[in-house]
Structures are given as C-alpha cells and as structure tokens.
Structure 1
Amino acid sequence: MRKSIVLPGLLLFSMLFMAFQCDEENTDTMESDRLELSQLKTEIDSIVNASACDGTHICEFMAYGSKACGGPQGYLVYSTSINVENLKALVDNYNEAEAEFNLKWNILSDCSVPNPPSEIICENNKCVPVL
C-alpha cells in the first residue's frame, strides 16, 4: 500500500514544482535583447559621430529604429565621409532587430512620428540638422 501512495505523491510534487518555477529566463532574455539593441545603436552612433563634412563630403540623413506603432524612432545625420553602405546595413539590421523586439515583448509606443530634418548644415565639420 505504501508504494501506491509514493508514486502519485512524487508525480504531484513534480507537477507542482514545474508549475511554480520562477521564469527568470524571460526577464534575462528581454534584458539581453535590450542590451543587444543598445550595443547596435552604440556602434551606429560611433560611425555617425566619426563622420565629418567639408567641401568634398556632403551631409545626408536616414531614418533609424522601429516604433511599435510603425515609423522610425528618429533620424541619423551624417556625412558621406564614412562608409555609407556599411552604415545602411547596420541601420537595417538595427531596425529589424527593434521591430522583432517590439513584437516579441509586446512593446507599446507613443505612436508619434518624428519629422525629418528640413535641412542639414555643415558646422565646424559636423553635420547639424535644422528642423
């Protein structure tokens, strides 16, 4: 009779243990996803900040990011003194990663749409947006 009580008891204990496990993995995963986005953005910013405008390199801008409602987070202003194709590839990667992050973690957005710069000027060898 003792064997008939032990087996169901172990089964019940195992089921309760699995049901009440801490699900810390999701929090860690969300934070690691957020960290990955932050690292990508830092890499993009360092490339943009290294750009310089002068008589031979012009200023341009491109949208970056992906708001949960759609549309970009903002605009990057840079000069053509950098590898623009590399920057575009990194920004495309970032935009896709942020869109996936928003879907995966049900991120909400204010749904505002930032205005692109109406003009970009070269000031002290740096591209500066004019809104």
Structure 2
Amino acid sequence: MQAYHNFMSYNFFRLKLEADLTSRIDVVDSLLLDAKIGKQCKAFYRNQKKELRSALNEPNALKSYKLKLYSEDCPHTESQDSWESEEDTAICCIWPHIFPLNRMKLNENNLQIPERKSIKVLE
C-alpha cells in the first residue's frame, strides 16, 4: 500500500510539472508571435521554449529546476535590442550548451548533489 501511495504522489507531482511546463510553453509561443519584441527577446524566448520542451522528458527534480529557470521574462529592453549585434544574441543563447543541465543531479531542494551510481530518495 505504501508503494502505491508513493507512486500516486510521484505521479501527481509529475503531471503537475508537465502541465506547468506546457502552460509556460504556450505563454512563450504567444510572446514569440508578438511583433513588438526585438531580435534578442525572440532568440531568448526560442531558447526558453526549446529548453522547456526538453524538460518534459527529464526527471521531476530537473523539470522543476528548468521550469523555474526558464520562466523568466526577457531581460533585454527594446533600446538594447536596437543597438546590440547579432553576435550578442548568439552569445546570449549558447550558455545552456556550455553548461548542460541534464548532467546535473538535483535533490528535492533543487541543490546539486554529487553524482553517484545510485542515489536513495528519502520520503
């Protein structure tokens, strides 16, 4: 009976995270359709959408971490957008590839923990 309860708790959390990720992807889609945002923000949101989509196939801890990380608004202002170069836009969006998150192990508090062959989850 305890195993069933543990699975139901895990599954509820998983479904909630997936719904939240899907909701954020929908918001990002609507932001990308907005003609008022500049090139840097479009690149920022395209990267955000890609990362959120990939998070759908990650473990719950990583889903939660990526949802928090990729739910922020574009930090660029329109005045910055008009004078910054395409090179700046490219640099803005490559940092996740330099530090890939899918290699990290996270505990329930979203803190990085040392990678081990097996990790016992405390409940």
Q: Same fold (TM over 0.5)?
A: no
Q: What TM-score do the two structures reach when normalised by structure 2?
A: 0.35
More strand per residue: 1
More helix per residue: 2
